[in-house]
Amino acid sequence: MVGIRSMGIYIPRYRLERNEISRAMGGISMSGEKAVCNFDEDSVTMAVEALRDSLREIDSEEIDSLLFASTSAPYKEKQSSSTIAMLADLKEDIFTSDFSNSIRSGASALEMAMARVKSGMSKNVAVTVSDDRLGVGGSDFEKYFGDGAVALVLSSNDLIATIEGVHTINDDFLDVWRTSTDIFASSWEDRFVKTKGFENNIAKVVKGLMDKYNLLPSDFDKVVLAGPDYRIGQSIGKSLGFDITSQLQNNMFDQVGNIGTAHPFLMLFSAINEAKPGDKILLTVYGDGAMALILSVTNNERVGNAINIKEYLYNKLLLKNYEEYLKIKNLIVTEADRRPSLPSSVPHMWRERNYFTRFHGVRCFNCGTEQYPRHRICYHCKSKDNFEEIKLSLKKGTVITYTKDRLFPTKLPPHVQAVIELEGGCRAYMMMTDVDPDEVKSHMLVDMVPRVLHERSNFYNYGWKCKPSHGKRNV
């Protein structure tokens, strides 16, 4: 039996109120807000966060495949799943692969994961699904599109939900697209997209699935219908015979927005967390056709144990205005960086990958002092080449001292830089991100988070920052 062993989500901390978009750009005002990833986040870092969340009760050494699905991968040429595996500190002998170019790519990765588990090629396959898409200024897409990521671990035992059936259809349909040089999503007229694209494909795949497995709409306790706007899931749900109030899973458009490839899985995460053992869930994923999947929630005690979505919603920071959104999304030209620092060197990053990317420190075998970055001579006892590597990325940190720097160039000044003491005594002088400067205090707790440190040398330099610790993260 193949199923979901664990799930995790990541919703970035910043929100933009949709009214702010119409305030700045004109047009019809719209209720709700959308999740916006920070200037130092992308689909890769969000996927790592979701993956780390899904692995809170699983040894990361058990993961033997890592898949990544997104329409907003940072590179056209360069695998993202390999980077995610390094940042999440997964073992080296794993299978990695990227799925892209469609908001159905998450479903494709899921089917690949199912096949690998079923065939015995893998025991635990982590599927990460992540998106941060851009709509053109003032457009409906800009109002709808949110950012976020979900991770699922597929396995054959210790499952929170088993997969009971799947049905997939293909449809070469131009509803939303980006050419290889587009920054913003384009689409055909929305009525055509909704009726002939979404409704047509969802109706076909759901009917096909129910025929294949001899099921009725009333056989499902929850139905995940992630459509291109707030209401469309309801209209197609109703016409397919589902009860909107009791069966349709809340789409969270008003709190998070439409997070693209990851959206059906975000809704699935909520559905499983809210479910009772034995509940049946219908998951649909639209895009260039559609996929429908039957899940049965097991009697596993871990069901409902995942981080509550409410925690992500509660700890949000509102962007002050649309201009801040433009800045962190790189959509406005700002004063050039007046203090260019060193570019990165690929051999340097490669050589130090365990320390910069995996975020390992060292512990002296002789005196036990934990230090970062790597040292060959112990700061404390001067022993030479007598260290073991330790993992720092999951440790909590305490702020020793800090500054709020307006000289260092950043999209959201002031830049907060803090001396952090990690559990075990290791110190690091780190950038703090996703922070309201007024909440910075000595002794405050912080978590370590993967971020894009900079893009100098024309590549993405991934590394680690700290951010205020909220609730159960990184337990």
Partner 1 sequence: MAIGNIKDKVSIIGMGCTKFGENWDMSADDMIIDAAYEAFEDAGIEPGDIQAAWVSATSSGASGTMLANPLKLDGIPISRIENYCASGQDAIRNAAFSIACGMYDIVLVIGFEKLKDSGLRGLPLTSFSDPVIGLGMTAPGSFSLPWVHFFEEHGVTKETLAKIAVKNHYNGSLNPKAHFQGAISTEQAVKAPIIAWPLGLFDCCPTTDGASAAILVSQKIAKSFRKDYVNIKATSLAVDAMIPGYRPDHEFSTWPATARAAKDAYKQVGITNPLKEINLIECHDCFTMTELVNYCDLGLCKKEEVKDCIDSGFFELSGDMPVNVSGGLLSCGHPVGATGVRMVYELYKQIQGKADDPRRQVNNATMGLAHNLGGYPQVSSVIIVGIE
Separation CA 147–CA 47 (nearest Å): 11
Give phi and psi for 125, each to the nearest 5. Answer: -105, 120
Candidate residues 78, 212, 351, 456; the one interacting with partner 1 per rule CB under 8 A = 456
Q: How far is CA 402 from CA 230, 370, 396, 424, 450, in A?
A: 43, 21, 17, 20, 20
User: In this complex, which beta carbon is closest to partner 1, that of residue 248 or of residue 430?
Assistant: 430
User: In this complex, which beta carbon is closest to partner 1, that of residue 61 or of residue 436?
Assistant: 436
Candidate residues 369, 397, 412, 460; the one interacting with partner 1 per rule CB under 8 A = 369
Segment interacting with partner 1 (CB under 8 A) among 11-19, 44-52, 57-65, 341-349: 341-349
Q: How far is the CB of 80 from partner 1 (least distance, A)?
A: 20
Q: How far is the CB of 427 from partner 1 (least distance, A)?
A: 5
User: In this complex, which beta carbon is closest to partner 1, that of residue 284 or of residue 371?
Assistant: 371
Candidate residues 379, 389, 436, 472; the one interacting with partner 1 per rule CB under 8 A = 379
Number of other CB atoms surrounding residue 305 within 10 Å:
13
- The answer to the question of residue 459 lying near partner 1 (CB under 8 A) is no
Segment interacting with partner 1 (CB under 8 A) among 120-128, 139-147, 389-397, 414-422: 414-422
Q: In what order do the strands lie in the sheet with 360-364?
A: 370-371, 360-364, 387-391
Decide: helix, strand or coil at residue 239: helix
Segment interacting with partner 1 (CB under 8 A) among 143-151, 231-239, 288-296, 336-344: 336-344
Give phi and psi for 359, each to the nearest 5. Answer: 60, 55
Separation CA 458–CA 450 (nearest Å): 19
The stretches of 153-241 forming alpha helices (DSSP H) are 190-192, 200-213, 232-239
Give the amino acid at 329.
K
Separation CA 220–CA 227 (nearest Å): 19
- The answer to the question of residue 45 lying near partner 1 (CB under 8 A) is no
Segment interacting with partner 1 (CB under 8 A) among 70-78, 79-87, 365-373, 385-393: 365-373
Separation CA 55–CA 49 (nearest Å): 10
Candidate residues 74, 287, 463, 468; the one interacting with partner 1 per rule CB under 8 A = 463
- The answer to the question of residue 401 lying near partner 1 (CB under 8 A) is yes
- The answer to the question of residue 198 lying near partner 1 (CB under 8 A) is no
Q: How far is the CB of 425 from partner 1 (least distance, A)?
A: 6
Q: How far is the CB of 224 from partner 1 (least distance, A)?
A: 41
Give phi and psi for 420, each to the nearest 5. Answer: -115, 135
Are 306 and 53 within 8 A, CB to CB?
yes
List of E strands, 209-261: 222-224
Residue 446, H or E segment: strand 445-454
- The answer to the question of residue 373 lying near partner 1 (CB under 8 A) is yes
First to last CA, the chain: 30
- The answer to the question of residue 28 lying near partner 1 (CB under 8 A) is no
Q: How far is the CB of 371 from partner 1 (least distance, A)?
A: 6
- The answer to the question of residue 62 lying near partner 1 (CB under 8 A) is no
Are 418 and 434 within 8 A, CB to CB?
no
Tokens representing residue 156 in the block = 């054959």
Q: How far is the CB of 325 from partner 1 (least distance, A)?
A: 23
User: In this complex, which beta carbon is closest to partner 1, that of residue 276 or of residue 456?
Assistant: 456
Segment interacting with partner 1 (CB under 8 A) among 4-12, 97-105, 184-192, 405-413: 405-413
Candidate residues 124, 371, 394, 444; the one interacting with partner 1 per rule CB under 8 A = 371
Tokens representing residue 257 in the block = 């927005």
Separation CA 416–CA 40 (nearest Å): 14
Q: Indicate the burial class of 291 (C-beta count within 10 angstroms; 0-12, 13-18, 19 or more).
A: buried
User: In this complex, which beta carbon is closest to partner 1, that of residue 199 or of residue 421?
Assistant: 421
- The answer to the question of residue 442 lying near partner 1 (CB under 8 A) is yes
Total residues binding partner 1 (CB under 8 A) = 45
The DSSP symbol for 61 reads G
- The answer to the question of residue 402 lying near partner 1 (CB under 8 A) is yes
- The answer to the question of residue 414 lying near partner 1 (CB under 8 A) is yes
Separation CA 233–CA 275 (nearest Å): 20
Are 356 and 345 within 8 A, CB to CB?
no
- The answer to the question of residue 471 lying near partner 1 (CB under 8 A) is no
Segment interacting with partner 1 (CB under 8 A) among 3-11, 230-238, 323-331, 396-404: 396-404
74-80: long-range contacts at Cβ-Cβ below 8 A with a sequence spacing of 24 or more? 74/42, 74/43, 74/44, 74/452, 74/460, 75/460, 76/180, 80/43, 80/44, 80/47
- The answer to the question of residue 385 lying near partner 1 (CB under 8 A) is no
Residues found near partner 1 in the complex (CB under 8 A): 338-345, 348-349, 352, 356, 369-373, 379-380, 400-408, 414-415, 417, 419, 425-431, 442, 453-454, 456, 461, 463
